[in-house]
Amino acid sequence: MKYVDEFRDGKVARSLAQTIAAEVRPERRYHLMEFCGGHTHAISRYGLRDLLPPEIRFIHGPGCPVCVLPIGRIDSAIELARDHGVILCSYGDTLRVPASERMSLLRAKAEGADIRMVYSSADALKIARDNPEREVVFFAIGFETTTPPTAVALRQARTEGLKNFSVFANHVLTPSAIQNILESPEVRELGTIPLDGFIGPSHVSTIIGSRPYEFFAEEFQKPVVIAGFEPLDVLQSVLMLVRQLNEGRAEVENQFSRAVTREGNLKAQALVAEVFELRDRFEWRGLGEVPYSALRIREAYRDLDAEVRFDLPYRSVPDHKACECGTILRGLKQPQDCKVFGTVCTPDNPLGSCMVSAEGACAAYYTYGQFKGSAEVAEAS
């Protein structure tokens, strides 16, 4: 069981940090967006900002699956459990995301709705098998990493002829979100979000490969480094980005060569393509409606689509007025710029979704960064 420590060696980390400090040019800043919440979490949990020179600025991206889930989708999930009497199976973090009228899946559960936390889509299938007299819906969320297991569950349900199982699909796509950020007026024309390069999520790329990023690197002239989630991975990818920027390159580089290839996992891609197809549009919290940014279940599996089976309408619900999740998810603001950060909105009582998951920028700042005091946090970011 020894696989953790070698990626967390303090000495290696300090020497990497020294190399970065030696190579940054003092006359410029390096604004790096870590797209994925897993990276945001690693940066905060291991105190990586303290190791890096002030020229490196992290901008936190929207890659946190529960953070980008809009209120309307949670409302629909609650409706399924409460009004349609189904057993709703969901990943843990989703339970606490605030929905309309101060509701959440956790509160609906406390009021008697049958909502069960699962660790995998296979758990949801098992619940369906064990409860043949009940409708069981898997509330599927996540980026490309969680999509193949959902596809497997759908195929399995079809093979077994499980009639009481269906999927409420909310799978979203990383490249579409990055493109949306790069094409936003704040980045493209106004330049209010300085954005020099991307730290790309390696888990996503184990599925889709590194190729989908080649377009951004070339079209928008932004370097991308696909990075692992261990703290040493993050530091190394920062160094790779600094070098690209210093040399005026904008390429896709792969720091996570231990698992990511250019093409990705073709078998998983084929499986996803068999079960899912692109949605024309999908609402993201923070980004609004993003075209071709999410997946829905294909015609051939339509009978296992909970949206069809329960005739779920979609109602878009605006976020709480004081909540800045939207601007934080687009990198326009930092968590401590939000008026309700750490006061009305805390991890115990989240107002916005970025405070819910450990991968949300607000939760990471609140949980790991309080001791610094707000001035110092602002400076470090």
Residue 245 or 364 with smaller CB distance to other proteins: 364
Compute the distance between CA of residue 64 and CA of residue 18 in angstroms, rounded to an integer.
30
Half-sphere exposure of 255 (CA within 13 A, CB side): 26
**Shortest CB 247 distance to other proteins, Å:** 27
**Shortest CB 216 distance to other proteins, Å:** 21
Among 32, 77, 95, 128, binds other proteins (CB under 8 A): 95
Instruction: Kindly state whether residue 51 participates in binding other proteins, applying the rule CB under 8 A.
Output: yes
| Residue 38: closest CA among 10, 12, 67 | 67
Residues 54-73 binding other proteins (CB under 8 A) are: 65-66
Compute the distance between CA of residue 275 and CA of residue 289 in angstroms, rounded to an integer.
23
CA distance readout (Å), 300 to 60, 154, 273: 38, 11, 12
What is the x/- site pattern for other proteins, positions 107-126, by CB under 8 A? Answer: ----------xxx---x---
**Shortest CB 347 distance to other proteins, Å:** 4
Among 1, 22, 190, 375, binds other proteins (CB under 8 A): 1
What is the x/- site pattern for other proteins, positions 309-338, by CB under 8 A? Answer: ------------------------------
b/e string for 228-246 if b means 16 or more Cβ within 10 A?
bbbbbbbbbbbbbbbbbbe
| Inter-residue contact 362 to 355 (CB < 8 Å) | yes
**Shortest CB 141 distance to other proteins, Å:** 8
Question: Sheet holding 30-36: strands in order across?
Answer: 56-63, 30-36, 197-201, 224-227, 252-254
What is the x/- site pattern for other proteins, positions 181-220, by CB under 8 A? Answer: ----------------------x-----------------
Instruction: Kindly state whether residue 141 participates in binding other proteins, applying the rule CB under 8 A.
Output: yes
Helix (H) or strand (E) holding 75: helix 71-83
Residue 133 or 348 with smaller CB distance to other proteins: 348
Helix (H) or strand (E) holding 251: none
Instruction: Kindly state whether residue 256 participates in binding other proteins, applying the rule CB under 8 A.
Output: no
Instruction: Kindly state whether residue 48 participates in binding other proteins, applying the rule CB under 8 A.
Output: yes
Reported in sequence order, the residue ranges of 37-104 that DSSP labels E, i.e. its strands, are 56-63, 87-90
Instruction: Kindly state whether residue 346 participates in binding other proteins, applying the rule CB under 8 A.
Output: yes
Our measurement of the distance from residue 282's CA atom to the centroid of its chain's CA atoms, rounded to an integer in Å, reads 15
Instruction: Kindly state whether residue 143 participates in binding other proteins, applying the rule CB under 8 A.
Output: yes
Compute the distance between CA of residue 8 and CA of residue 130 in angstroms, rounded to an integer.
42
Instruction: Kindly state whether residue 14 participates in binding other proteins, applying the rule CB under 8 A.
Output: yes
Number of residues that bind other proteins (CB under 8 A): 52
**Shortest CB 138 distance to other proteins, Å:** 13
